[in-house]
Structure 1
Amino acid sequence: MAAIGDSWSAGSSPGRRTCVVVGGRGFVGRWLVLRLLELGQWIVRVADSDPSLRLDPSAEPDAALARAVSSGQASYHHLAVRDRSSVLGVIKGSQAVFYTDVMDLSGQDFYNSYMIIVQGVKNVINACRECKVKRLIYNSSADVVFNGSRDIIGGNESLPYPWKYADMLSDLRAQAEALVLFANDIDGLLTCALRPSNIFGPGDAQFVPAVVNLAQSGWMKFIIGGGENLCDFTYIENVAHAHICTEEALCSRTVFVAGKAFFITNNEPVKFWEFISLLLEGLGYQRPFIKLPVSMVYYFFLLLEGIFESLGITKNSYIMSARHYVQVASRNRTFDCSAARKQLEYSPTVTLKDGIATTIASFSHYSRDSSYGGEGEFPEQSKADWMLGGGKVADIFLWRDEKETFAYFLISVVLFYWFFISGRSFISSTAYLLLMLVMALVGYGYLTSNLFDSNIKTASFSCFDMHKSIVEESLGSIILLWNRGARIMRSLAKGEDWNIFFKTAVAMYFLRLIVSYYLTYAVGAALICSFTCFFIYEQYESEIDTLERVLISGLKTLKGWLVSFLPLSTTPHGCTQDL
């Protein structure tokens, strides 16, 4: 940073030009301002929607800006892009304008988003023409050529705009980009648009925090799709560097650059879910490991969107953003930067590996105290895992292997239909099942030995043997249950323990109702709950435990109030006899 200080000391040196960074307090804008200040060739006007300049001295871009403002190399201007006079006042007297995102538009409705993105760009273009600004560089996005319906592998600038977009913001950014490119060479204004792909880095307020929030809530265990799709990511310093390269190219290579758009990436395509895993592991979170079909997740959000529309909410930006994330996370999205390398002389200054490391270090406040191990491993046994015994059953009900769990779920559904919904009695269903099993075993042994010349191994007799330890364990469990039942019956016979009486009576009453009228529904509900409740409980263990404590406290109060109305036992303690 010493070079920056040296350049600031010459604030009045000749040859220094004036530029405006629209959205200079945004993610891209902050790093672009820092890069411009480092060059020492510009007087930078930082324009943003915040009424006043709020600086964080601990952040490198803000510390540099504070020194530049005090030396006169930079100034801050409140800008409302929807107000033409406000835009004119900021841009007047500048030679170049860099247009980045003015504000976070998540949660904004269509009208406000349109006015900020599209109308804001129109106002900036008109102000540049009126004020005789020479160069306008617009920070667009690679999303303007992506509609989610197909993969993009090595896409170049010849890709057309899609007819329809999956999310509103990409549509509006494409309109704004088209306006900027169309305005080229009108009234002496030269324009260019940059399309960075998946920007990340220190100061990111959207992508990395969203990933961490999903990890903290347990939803980052899921991989959407097969997890093999490649994506291009762009470190924030490289994006800022690309803007400087573009401004210089507009000055010297106008015919090759003006009126065109260029893709900007780190030139290091990587698997999308590997990139996510590196970020999460660096911050101490678990790698995603449960794979979900893309169609299932996509149609789930379509269903949610339909529900919102039925409630009168026609456009919900959160649902649309979620659908867009599903498409980005499951599709190949790589871009060819050869045009930017040749025409803009752009090349990444920070590698992807170094960018990830710097990003992780800058988000250390989001990290966990203890990190997870490899894929599918947990730092300690969860309560749900302990309740299920921590073995094979736990792995199945907690969806550790989604294919295996789904297979068991499918088998359970088939058995449920066979015994409870088919219309046969339980004994008839059991008899049919045993008959089919016998026929399958006999047929399997006959076919393999006579038709296939024993090429297929027959089932060994040992498969039908039950180990002595398993029999002893099963008998031990039965004996334990029998003795526990005997103790309960003995306590009931004494007539002294009203607590056991109420528990037994209520349990027997509900068992009678279930067996008599609702057995099918109860078994179906138990089947569904077994494959969902334990998994959900593991994700929200602390919240559910808190609710459980409140409910138990209320039930204990209610039970004490009911017991207070019951008569005391009339049997003297000295006359009690064991039955």
Structure 2
Amino acid sequence: MPFDEAIPRTCVVLNGRGFVGRSLVLRLLELGKCIVRVTDSTQSLQLDPSESNSLLPDSLSSGRAEYHQVDVRDISQIKKVLEGASTVFYVDATDLNTDDFYNCYMIIVQGAKNVVTACRECKVRRLVYNSTADVVFDGSHDIHNGDETLTCCWKFQDLMCDLKAQAEALVLFANNIDGLLTCALRPSNVFGPGDTQLVPLLVNLAKPGWTKFIIGSGENMSDFTYVENVAHAHVCAAEALDSRMVSVAGMAFFITNLEPIKFWDFLSIILEGLGYQRPFIKLPTGVVWYIILLVKWIHEKLGLRTYNHSLSACYIVQLASRTRTFDCIAAQKHIGYSPVVSLEEGVSSTIQSFSHLARDSSLAYSRDFNEQSKVEKLLGGGKVADILLWKDEKKTFTYFLVLVLLFYWFFLGGSTLTSSAAKFLLLLSAVLFGYGILPSNIFGFNVKRISPSCFELSETVIKDSIARIAFLWNMGFRNIRLLAKGDDWNTFFKVCSAYYIKVSRTHLPGNFYDNHFLIK
């Protein structure tokens, strides 16, 4: 129906200021078939600079679009904005704080209940819910061309997936009650301009260099969906519901770009487009799992706050290492969906929209890489600097693992310092002796012998060590002489501050040093 007809239809986009919601609003305004009511939880509409040239400002001034503040936890606010509407698109929030379970539940699950109830009472004809393909992913099995016959998981690693599955079920069960027709869309890995999750997460990991690692084989395939294609799918679903197709009402449909790609190839394209290094070091999935569990265990042992994001971290590892591709034949056949933007075009637009997060190429490529950085100079530029700055990833990881084991052995093992040292030396002796009696060749692998020079100390090293000890000893007595004269206030305050901090730490209740350094 053209917009200029006497009684244009009204549609509502709940959470229309979110990532998918914004694209859906613009899609509806471009079609010009209805008045669009945009809702969000904020009191007033704040337009981004990127929206200054879009249809939204002109539509708001002309009355083609309206903005309403709506909290989906308050059903009265929902009813008020749904009055007279024929179609509702429910795109719930994705940037919620997952540490607050109650708030997430009230917004997603209780919000879905309120939306369904309000639609029935306000005689809304169509309700389209934006779900996710993650509701059928259990994290343990690959999905190859999964279709709508897949059932939702009964146990989720990720809180948001669990709540989204409950909300989807509520919407679909409400189909054909009081004249309300419903359906749900399950887009896979949505990306595009305005993304608040995937691209910002990649950039935050790329800055300290964590994106150089590939989890698993790197051969796992995934489906990604450009945000404009998701918006187009919502419009297709609403039109199909308007025709009262039995094959659409009460159903869920997978939505993708129909262009499966290797998961790590997709990330590499995004990272390289923003000037960051593409992943190239493969880590076995099991190793990453053990690292996550180790970090969580150390937090618990040290009595720190529980590692609340361990489940989310595990879920990210599962997404990054498993194949997840979906079949969109049902969406193509029943709601007439087909992508309007190709994957290549979508990636290009996404990279361009995040140019403000790109690495500063002028600094990255004009710098002389043979020149030591400030941090490297501060660390001395030796072997320690190479290890701390990840010059050799394998060596750094090996040293890190050894330090973690030593930390556990001496500080978390529950033994005294003397007994821990004795056990460690006993283990070291057994390992060295066992290594010494190994044959030179085992199943075709040559066993390298430890050179005796590794256990020898040169006279220069010994002299330097003794000179260093003597220097520290003389410096200590020099400070004592200065204190005895009573002239150097600067030294006095430094010494007092150092001893005050030491005394304060020693007398803390349940002090770490009291528990682990007392020799029984």
Q: TM-score, normalised by structure 1?
A: 0.68
Of residues 282-291 and 334-343 in structure 1, the stretch that sits farther from structure 2 once superposed is 282-291
- Whether 1:176 aligns to 2:145 is no
2:213 corresponds in structure 1 to 222
Q: Distance in 2 between the 1:312 and 1:406 partners?
A: 26
Q: Distance in 1 between the 2:257 and 2:28 partners?
A: 20
1:247 corresponds in structure 2 to 238
1:67 corresponds in structure 2 to 58
Inter-CA distance 388–268: structure 2 relative to 1 (3 Å threshold): farther
The equivalent position to 1:421 in structure 2, one of 423, 426, 445, is 426
- Whether 1:42 aligns to 2:34 is yes
- Whether 1:26 aligns to 2:18 is yes
Q: What is the alpha-carbon root mean square deviation over aligned residues?
A: 4.5
**Within 5 Å, which residues of 2 pair with 1:554-569?**
none
CA apart distance, 1:384: 7.6
For residue 211 of structure 1, what is the amino acid of its counterpart?
Answer: L
CA apart distance, 1:104: 2.3
Q: Are the aligned partners of 1:197 and 1:232 in contact in 2 as well (CA < 8 Å)?
A: yes
Q: Distance in 1 between the 2:334 and 2:182 partners?
A: 14
CA apart distance, 1:226: 2.0
Q: Distance in 1 between the 2:428 and 2:236 partners?
A: 75
Q: Are the aligned partners of 1:49 and 1:102 in contact in 2 as well (CA < 8 Å)?
A: no
2:338 corresponds in structure 1 to 347
Bigger helix fraction: 1
**Within 5 Å, which residues of 2 pair with 1:338-377?**
338-370=329-361
2:203 corresponds in structure 1 to 212
The equivalent position to 1:58 in structure 2, one of 37, 50, 64, is 50
- Whether 1:502 aligns to 2:465 is no
- Whether 1:258 aligns to 2:227 is no
Q: Distance in 2 between the 1:265 and 1:306 partners?
A: 38
For residue 502 of structure 1, what is the amino acid of its counterpart?
Answer: F
**Within 5 Å, which residues of 2 pair with 1:175-574?**
175-252=166-243, 254-302=245-293, 316=308, 318-370=309-361, 398=390, 400=392, 402=394, 420-422=425-427, 436=437, 440=439, 481=460, 502-503=471-472
2:516 corresponds in structure 1 to none
Q: TM-score, normalised by structure 2?
A: 0.75
Of residues 177-186 and 270-279 in structure 1, the stretch that sits farther from structure 2 once superposed is 270-279
For residue 358 of structure 2, what is the amino acid of its counterpart?
Answer: S
Q: Are the aligned partners of 1:19 and 1:95 in contact in 2 as well (CA < 8 Å)?
A: yes
Structure possessing the higher radius of gyration over alpha carbons: 1
For residue 164 of structure 1, what is the amino acid of its counterpart?
Answer: K
Inter-CA distance 285–159: structure 2 relative to 1 (3 Å threshold): same
1:98 corresponds in structure 2 to 89
SS of the aligned residue for 2:72 comes to: coil
Aligned residues: 457
CA apart distance, 1:417: 12
Q: Distance in 1 between the 2:399 and 2:209 partners?
A: 23
For residue 16 of structure 2, what is the amino acid of its counterpart?
Answer: G
Unaligned runs of 5+ in 1: 1-6, 449-455, 465-477, 493-498, 508-556, 563-579
2:142 corresponds in structure 1 to 151
**1:402-455 CA-partner distances (Å, limit 9, x unpaired):** 499759989xx9xx99994357599xx68x977x48xx46xx6xx99xxxxxxx
The equivalent position to 2:120 in structure 1, one of 126, 129, 144, is 129
Q: Are the aligned partners of 2:10 and 2:36 in contact in 1 as well (CA < 8 Å)?
A: yes
Q: Are the aligned partners of 1:246 and 1:344 in contact in 2 as well (CA < 8 Å)?
A: yes
Q: Distance in 1 between the 2:307 and 2:140 partners?
A: 20
CA apart distance, 1:259: 0.6
CA apart distance, 1:302: 4.2
Q: Distance in 2 between the 1:425 and 1:141 partners?
A: 55
Inter-CA distance 190–312: structure 2 relative to 1 (3 Å threshold): farther
Inter-CA distance 163–314: structure 2 relative to 1 (3 Å threshold): farther
**1:203-225 CA-partner distances (Å, limit 9, x unpaired):** 11122111111112332222222
1:118 corresponds in structure 2 to 109
SS of the aligned residue for 2:49 comes to: coil
1:470 corresponds in structure 2 to none
The equivalent position to 1:76 in structure 2, one of 67, 70, 89, is 67
Q: Are the aligned partners of 1:264 and 1:337 in contact in 2 as well (CA < 8 Å)?
A: yes
**1:138-178 CA-partner distances (Å, limit 9, x unpaired):** 00001111121111111111111111000111111000001
Unaligned runs of 5+ in 2: 406-420, 450-457, 477-489, 496-520
Percent of residue pairs identical: 53
Inter-CA distance 47–407: structure 2 relative to 1 (3 Å threshold): closer
For residue 27 of structure 1, what is the amino acid of its counterpart?
Answer: F
Inter-CA distance 347–403: structure 2 relative to 1 (3 Å threshold): farther
SS of the aligned residue for 1:256 comes to: coil
Inter-CA distance 230–256: structure 2 relative to 1 (3 Å threshold): same
For residue 102 of structure 2, what is the amino acid of its counterpart?
Answer: Y
CA apart distance, 1:59: 2.9
CA apart distance, 1:291: 2.6
Q: Distance in 2 between the 1:315 and 1:384 partners?
A: 30
Q: Distance in 2 between the 1:123 and 1:419 partners?
A: 62
Q: Are the aligned partners of 1:284 and 1:372 in contact in 2 as well (CA < 8 Å)?
A: no
Inter-CA distance 380–154: structure 2 relative to 1 (3 Å threshold): farther
